[in-house]
Amino acid sequence: MAEVYDFAVIGGGMAGASLAAELAPHGSVLVLEAEDRPGYHATGRSAAFWEECYGGPQVVPLTLASGPFLQEHGFLSQRGALYLGRDGDAGELDGFMHRFAKSGVTIERLSSNAVVERVPGLRPEWTGAVWEPACADIDVAGLHAHYLATMKHGGGQLEVRARLANAERTATGWHLKTDRGAEFESAILINAGGAWADEIARIAGVAPIGITPYRRTVVQLRVDPPPPADLPLVLDIAGQFYFRPDNARIWLSPHDEEPSAPCDAAPEELAVATAIARMEEVVDWRIVAVEHKWAGLRSFAPDRLPVYGFDPKDSGFFWFAGQGGFGIQTAPAAARLGAQTLLGQPRDVMTASLDPDIYSPKRFALGSKAGFLD
C-alpha cells in the first residue's frame, strides 16, 4: 500500500526544501528529488548574493522580507554592490535610481573618485556607479542544509533518486509514481521543480505556464593582483557582467541567459571567453588562470515574476516555481508565504508587506500584461 501524505513536494532544491520546512510542523510532507542529492542543479551551482534590487521592484518586497531571517541566522556576509557605468551611461544610472526610488532599497549615486576607491585597477572610462551598501554574500549550502534539517526535524520525508513519472488525480488527491516504481498518495501536489516545472505540470495533467530555463555561466579566475577581500559585487549597469571575490579568486559571469531545455547544464567556451573579455574591459588585472567553470539554469515565468499559488483550474496543484536568479535571496519570505497560502493561515510579521496576488498563477489566466522586470 502506498504511503499517504498531506503534501508532496516535487523538487528538493532551495524552493522545495524551504517550503517543506515551513509545512512540516503542520502536516505530513514528502519531498521527491530526482537526483542523488537535493540541490544538485540551480541551488548547488549558485554564486548567490542578497542584493536588494535584483529581480526588479516587484521582487524587492520578497528580498527585503527575507533579509532579517538570513541575517539573524548567520547566512549573510556583508559585501556591498556597485552598478558600474561608462562615460555615456549616466542616463542609465539615473534611470536605475528612479526605478527603485520608492521600493525601499538603499542606494546612492557615486562619483568617479568614489568608484575608483572601491575597485582598484578600474579603467578610466568607468566613471559612475550606483552603490548598494546592504548587498551581502549568501551561504547557500548552509541555508539549504538548514531547511532540509528543519524539514526532517518536523517529520518530513526526503526521497532521492525519485523522479516523478506519473501523477494521477484521485478522489482524495494524487497518486504518484516515480521512475523507480515507488508509489505515494498525497492530498496536495506542490510543483517546486525549477527548470522542470512545466514538465511536472504536464505529468500531472495541468496546463504549463511557460516557465523557461536559461543557462547562466560562472567562471573562477586567479588574477594578479589578487582581488581585495572587501571588493564589492561589481555589476554592469547594462547587464553585461558581474564579478565578486571569493577566497582570493574572482567569480565572474557574462550575465548570460541562453534558453535551454531542462538539463544538467554545462558551460560553453564562448560564454567563458565572453566573460573574460568583458572583465578585461573593466579592470587592468592580469588573468593568471581559469581555475573552474560551471553553469546552472535559472527559470522564469513569462513576466519574470515568481509563481506561488494554487493552479486556477486545479485546487490540488500548487505552483512554487519561476524564481529565476532571485530564488535563494527570497527563499525565507517566499516559503513562508507559500505555506500560509497552502494552510489558509494569515500573514505574519515576515510576510505582512507582501501581496500574494502579484505572484499568483491566476495572473496568467487573467491575461496579465506584466512586462519583464529584471
Residue pair 163/179 in contact (Cβ under 8 Å)? The answer is yes
Helical pair 331-343 and 60-72, crossing angle rounded to 10 deg: 110
In a domain, 342, yes or no: yes
Q: What total of structural domains would you count in the chain?
A: 2
- Cα 340 from chain centroid? 20
Domain finish residue from 280, 300, 320: 300
- Shared domain for 216 and 125, answered yes or no, is yes
| Residue 192 clears pLDDT 60, i.e. is over it | yes
| Residue 373 clears pLDDT 50, i.e. is over it | no
Domain finish residue from 249, 269, 300: 300
Higher pLDDT, 44 or 326: 326
- CATH number of the domain bearing residue 153: 3.50.50.60
Residue pair 245/227 in contact (Cβ under 8 Å)? The answer is yes
| Residue 2 clears pLDDT 90, i.e. is over it | no
Contact partners, residue 190, CB within 8 Å, separation at least 6: 7, 8, 9, 10, 16, 19, 318, 320, 342
The pLDDT score that the predictor gives to residue 93 is 97
Nearest in space to 308 (alpha carbons), one of 298, 297, 322, 325: 322
The pLDDT score that the predictor gives to residue 139 is 95
- Shared domain for 153 and 290, answered yes or no, is no
The pLDDT score that the predictor gives to residue 111 is 87
| Residue 47 clears pLDDT 80, i.e. is over it | no
In a domain, 53, yes or no: no
DSSP class per residue in 61-109: HHHHHHHHHHHHTT-EEE--EEEEEEGGGHHHHHHHHHHTTTTT---EE
pLDDT tens per residue across span 127-163: 999 999 999 999 999 999 999 999 999 999 999 999 9
Residue pair 136/79 in contact (Cβ under 8 Å)? The answer is yes
Mean pLDDT of the chain: 94
| Residue 30 clears pLDDT 70, i.e. is over it | yes
pLDDT tens per residue across span 228-279: 999 999 999 999 999 999 999 999 999 999 999 999 999 999 999 999 999 9
- Shared domain for 318 and 190, answered yes or no, is yes
Can you tell me the distance from the alpha carbon of 33 to that of 13, in angstroms, rounded to the nearest whole number?
8
Residue 48's pLDDT band (cuts 50, 70, 90): confident
Query: What is the pairing mode between strands 81-86 and 233-236?
Result: parallel
DSSP class per residue in 268-323: -HHHHHHHHHHHHTTB-PEEEEEEEEEEEEEEE-TTSS-EEEEETTEEEEEEEE-B
**Range of 283's domain?**
81-133+212-300
- Shared domain for 229 and 274, answered yes or no, is yes
The pLDDT score that the predictor gives to residue 365 is 83
In a domain, 61, yes or no: no
- Shared domain for 128 and 216, answered yes or no, is yes
The alpha helices in the chain, defined as continuous H runs, are 14-23, 60-72, 90-99, 112-118, 140-153, 197-203, 269-280, 331-343, 356-359, 362-365
In a domain, 359, yes or no: yes
In a domain, 261, yes or no: yes
Over residues 306-329, the mean pLDDT reads 96
Domain finish residue from 257, 280, 300: 300
- Shared domain for 219 and 354, answered yes or no, is no
pTM of the model: 0.94
- What DSSP state is assigned to residue 228? P
- CATH number of the domain bearing residue 271: 3.30.9.10
Residue 45's pLDDT band (cuts 50, 70, 90): low
Residue 46's pLDDT band (cuts 50, 70, 90): low
What percentage of the chain carries pLDDT values higher than 90?
Answer: 92
